[in-house]
C-alpha cells in the first residue's frame, strides 16, 4: 500500500534563518518556536492567527512549557525561565557555558515531566555534541560524542527516540519507571540511503513517529516498525521539526529553515523558514509540561 500523502500549507511567513523547537503550550493555547540563528522567540495563537515574536540575548533552540506557566528557554550558554506575560528572564543554570564551540539544538519534554535536550557544534563539528536530561531540577548528561543530536521524542510505552543526524539512523531507547534510559539504544529506522536527513520528530496517539527529513522537503510518518506509512509534502526543502497543536492536537505544525540556501534557491522557495501546518486527522500524543521540582 502506498503511503498516504498530505500537503502542508503556509501558517506564518516568519522566514526564520533556522526555525526549530516548536512546542504547544496547552494552558496558554499558544504555539511557540525559535529562530536559533536569528535569536528570536515566536508564538502563534491558532484561534486568532495572531503571531508575535521577541528578540533574545542568545541563540535559543526550544521554549518548553513549564508546569507553573512559564517557559524554559534552552540556550547556547544557559537554561533560563521566561515569564511570557512580563517577558522577563530568570537564570536557572549554566549550559555548556565554558564551551564556545557548542550551542543547544533539539529538546522535548518526556512522559515523566523531564526535559531531554542536546548540544551540537556551531559549525557541526564532529562529535562535539551531547544529550542531556533535566529532571526535577538536576541536569544529567546521557550521551557524548554526538554530532547533530535530533529527533528527540517519547512514546506512551516508555521509549525515547533520537538520532545523530549524519548517521541517518533513528534510535529507540528503553526507559525505566522514572524515564531514565536502560541499556543501549537500538536502531528503529535507517535513512542513511534515503533522500534527506532525519531532523526533529514527534509522536502521535496511535504510536507512530512523525520525522522531518531535512533537505527532502517532507515529513514522514513511521509505524511502530519504523516503516513509512505517510508523507507530508512541503514546498520548501528544509523542514526541521513537527509538533501537534490545537485543542484536539490534530493540526501538525512544522518549522523550516533558510540556512545555507543560495540566492537562487531562495528565489525559488521564498517562504523557506516559514511555519507550515497540515490537518492530519490524527491526534498527537499529549505532552506534559516540564516539572522542575
User: Residue 284: pLDDT above 80?
Assistant: yes
Q: Which one-letter DSSP state was computed for residue 62?
A: E
The whole-angstrom separation of Cα 179 and Cα 110 is 7
The Cα–Cα gap between 152 and 202 comes to 8
Beta bridge partners of 55: 40
Residue 217 is assigned to a structural domain of this protein:
yes
Task: Provide the whole-model pTM.
Answer: 0.97
Instruction: Please state, in angstroms and rounded to a whole number, the distance separating the CA atoms of residues 45 and 38.
Output: 21
**Residues 145, 166 contacting (CB under 8 angstroms):** no
- 199 among known catalytic residues: yes
Residue 96 placed within a domain: yes
4-23 b/e with 16+ CB inside 10 Å = b?
eebebeebbebbbbbbbbbb
What is the share, in percent, of the chain residues with pLDDT greater than 90?
97
Name the β-bridge partners of 212.
219
* Owning domain of residue 136: 4-279
Question: What is residue 2's predicted lDDT score, i.e. its pLDDT?
Answer: 74
Q: What is the pLDDT of residue 1?
A: 63
The predicted pLDDT at position 65 comes to 98
In a domain, 287, yes or no: no
Per-residue pLDDT of 47-73, as tens digits, reads 999 999 999 999 999 999 999 999 999
In this prediction, residues 109-137 reach a mean pLDDT of: 97
| 8 found inside a domain | yes
* pLDDT tens, residue by residue, 14-51: 999 999 999 999 999 999 999 999 999 999 999 999 99
The catalytic residue among 199, 237, 247, 248 is: 199
Q: Give how far the C-alpha of residue 135 lies from the chain's centroid of Cα atoms, to the nearest Å.
A: 18
Asked whether residue 284 is domain-assigned, the answer is no
Q: Are strands 228-233 and 4-7 parallel, antiparallel or unpaired?
A: parallel
Each residue's pLDDT tens digit, 232-242: 999 999 999 99
126 lies in a domain? yes
For position 52, which CATH number holds? Answer: 2.120.10.30
288 in any annotated domain: no
- What is d(CA 198, CA 189) in angstroms, rounded to the nearest whole number? 10
Q: Give the pLDDT confidence of 67-113 residue by residue, as tens digits.
A: 999 999 999 999 999 999 888 999 999 999 999 999 999 999 999 99
Secondary structure class of 273 (helix, strand, coil): coil
Q: Is 179 exposed, middle or buried (0-12, 13-18, 19+ CB in 10 A)?
A: middle
Whether 29 maps to a domain, the answer reads: yes
Number of domains comprising the chain:
1
- For residue 3, pLDDT over 90 is answered with no
pLDDT, the chain, mean: 97
Amino acid at each position: 500500500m502506498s503511503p498516504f500523502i498530505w500537503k502542508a500549507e503556509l501558517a506564518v511567513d516568519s522566514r526564520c534563518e533556522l526555525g526549530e523547537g516548536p512546542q504547544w503550550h496547552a494552558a496558554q493555547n499558544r504555539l511557540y518556536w525559535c529562530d536559533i540563528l536569528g535569536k528570536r522567540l515566536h508564538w502563534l495563537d491558532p484561534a486568532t492567527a495572531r503571531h508575535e515574536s521577541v528578540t533574545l540575548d542568545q541563540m535559543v533552540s526550544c521554549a518548553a512549557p513549564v508546569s507553573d506557566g512559564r517557559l524554559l528557554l534552552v540556550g547556547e550558554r544557559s537554561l533560563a525561565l521566561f515569564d511570557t506575560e512580563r517577558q522577563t528572564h530568570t537564570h536557572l543554570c549554566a549550559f555548556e557555558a565554558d564551551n564556545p564551540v557548542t550551542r543547544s539544538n533539539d529538546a522535548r519534554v518526556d512522559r515523566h515531566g523531564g526535559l531531554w535536550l542536546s548540544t551540537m557544534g556551531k559549525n557541526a563539528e564532529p562529535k562535539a555534541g551531547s544529550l542531556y536530561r533535566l529532571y526535577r531540577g538536576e541536569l544529567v548528561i546521557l550521551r557524548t560524542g554526538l554530532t547533530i543530536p535530533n529527533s528527540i521524542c517519547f512514546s506512551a510505552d516508555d521509549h525515547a527516540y533520537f538520532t545523530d543526524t549524519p548517521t541517518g539512523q533513528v534510535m529507540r531507547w528503553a526507559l525505566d519507571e522514572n524515564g531514565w534510559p536502560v541499556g543501549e539504544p537500538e536502531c528503529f529506522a535507517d535513512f542513511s540511503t534515503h533522500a534527506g536527513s532525519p531532523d526533529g520528530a514527534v509522536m502521535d496517539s496511535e504510536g507512530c513517529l512523525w520525522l522531518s527529513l531535512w533537505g527532502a522537503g517532507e515529513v514522514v510518518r513511521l509505524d511502530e516498525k519504523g516503516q513509512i506509512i505517510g508523507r507530508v509534502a512541503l514546498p520548501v526543502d528544509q523542514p526541521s521539526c513537527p509538533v501537534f497543536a490545537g485543542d484536539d492536537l490534530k493540526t501538525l505544525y512544522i518549522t523550516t529553515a533558510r540556512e545555507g540556501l543560495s540566492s537562487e534557491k531562495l528565489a525559488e522557495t521564498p517562504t523557506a523558514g516559514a511555519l507550515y501546518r497540515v490537518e492530519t486527522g490524527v491526534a498527537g500524543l499529549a505532552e506534559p509540561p516540564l516539572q522542575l521540582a
